[in-house]
Amino acid sequence: MTIWWLLPAVILASLILTGGLRRYALARRLMDVPNSRSSHSVPTPRGGGVAIVVCFLVSLPLLFLTQGLSGAAMWALLGGGAWVALVGFLDDHGHIAARWRLLAHFIGAGWVLWLVGGIPELQFFGVVLDLGLFGYLLGALFLVWLLNLYNFMDGIDGIASVEAISVCLGGALLYYLLGQSHLMLLPLLLGAAVCGFLFWNFPPAKIFMGDAGSGFLGITLGALSLQAAWVDPQLLWCWLILLGVFIVDATWTLLRRLLRGDKVYEAHRSHAYQYASRLFGRHLPVTLVVGAINIFWLVPLACWVAVGGIDGVLGLLLAYAPLAMLAIRFNAGKQEIPA
């Protein structure tokens, strides 16, 4: 039985549900009001990312019942994703202290790692490294960082959505190249859920994703990367390449702020993409460039690694080098000068 019909159904459901959430947010006055640390200038409804969460998670049991998804993977994505989305939803509607959010994030990461089996053996330059129990600690740090950096990078219209769609399309293509086409539908379903939301979030955005959506995307993309690594260890490097724009900008910014002694949990506007959007005076050019970098640079490099054309670590370094130069060029992590 084929369920490829799920893709258009998920897109349509996400589009309709996001519209409903926008009306709900307007009625409840759940607005993101601009302040000195915002990258937007007009009060905008938030919380639309819940549509992504609901549409993707509802599709998982259908995928499981058609044997396109293992039970462990289904419960990993359902439990970890729903938990992180719930924490983000509560934070969107009120406030949860940073330490409690972080604890909740590690609980979600632990759930995912327990069910997917941690991180498989790492392969680089012909060396095979079994991380053992240390792999679970490394995996937890990876998932929690990816979850939070996705939240940090969701700061201008459409950027988090375009990133997720690009990465999901790239991930599906990797499975196709390796002859694992039966696994393609899972990342494509996540991309489809984001597509419906993007209709409302494309610049100028009519609704924002919110912490529920961004955190969910971060941990879900991380879980998909670990699942791919168990299919073929080289795919872990491929997924890290696909996520390069967000990983490099967020990590470079964080390190620079840490070295300066900033409170890294406080909101700011010092990522490279934020400086770039202010330089160009609009969000759209930056969002489109991120999509172009993903499609024309990172996806081809990830495919090259997947088919064995280049070592994974070497491919990763090659992919990240120009991204690091862009981060430097656009002052990622530079202290903002008060207006």
Phi and psi at 294, nearest 5°, equal -60, -50
Q: How many CB atoms lie within 10 A of CB 217?
A: 32
Percent of the chain surpassing pLDDT 90: 75
- Alpha carbon distance 105, 97 (integer Å): 12
Query: Does the pLDDT at position 36 exceed 70?
Result: no
**Confidence (pLDDT) at 202:** 95
Contact assessment for residue 207 and residue 200, using Cβ atoms and an 8 Å cutoff: yes
Both structure tokens of 211: 């912490």
Average pLDDT, integer, range 247-261: 93
pLDDT 10s digits, 223-244: 999 999 999 999 999 999 999 9
Residue with tokens 């969910």: 216
Could you read off the pLDDT of 152-162 as tens digits, one per residue?
Answer: 999 899 999 99
Q: Are 15 and 161 in contact (CB under 8 A)?
A: no
Point out the least confidently predicted range of 29-38, 60-69, 79-88, 245-254.
29-38
Residues sharing a CB contact under 8 Å with residue 75, sequence separation 6 or more, in sequence order? 115
Which whole-number Å values give the CA distances from 67 to 37, 115, 186, 328, in the listed order? 46, 17, 12, 46
Give φ, ψ of 203 to 5 degrees: -55, 130
Q: Output the pTM of the full model.
A: 0.95
Question: What confidence tens digit (pLDDT) does each residue in 103-127 have?
Answer: 999 999 999 999 999 999 888 887 8
pLDDT over 80 (residue 68): no
- Alpha-carbon distance 222 to 228, whole Å? 10
- Helix and strand totals (H; E) in the chain: 14, 4
The residue-averaged pLDDT of 134-142 equals 94
Residue 1 has pLDDT above 80, yes or no: no
pLDDT band at 261 (very low <50, low <70, confident <90, very high): confident
How much is the pLDDT for 67?
74
pLDDT for 278: 92
DSSP annotation of 67 reads: T
> pLDDT category, 35, cuts 50, 70, 90?
low
Which residues is 45 bridged to in the sheet? 31
pLDDT at residue 333, as a whole number: 87
Which two tokens mark 25? 């947010």
Which letter, b or e, does each residue of 62-78 get, where b requires 16 or more Cβ atoms within 10 Å of its Cβ?
A: ebbeeebbeeebbbbbb
The full set of domain ranges for the chain reads 6-29+40-329
8 A C-beta contact, residue 147 and residue 110: no
Q: For all residues of the chain together, what is the average pLDDT?
A: 92
The three-state secondary structure class of 123 is strand
Distance CA 180, CA 170 (A): 14
- Distance CA(221)–CA(84), nearest Å, equals 13
Confidence class for position 66, pLDDT limits 50, 70, 90 = confident
pLDDT of residue 38: 60
**Is the pLDDT confidence value at 338 over 70?**
no
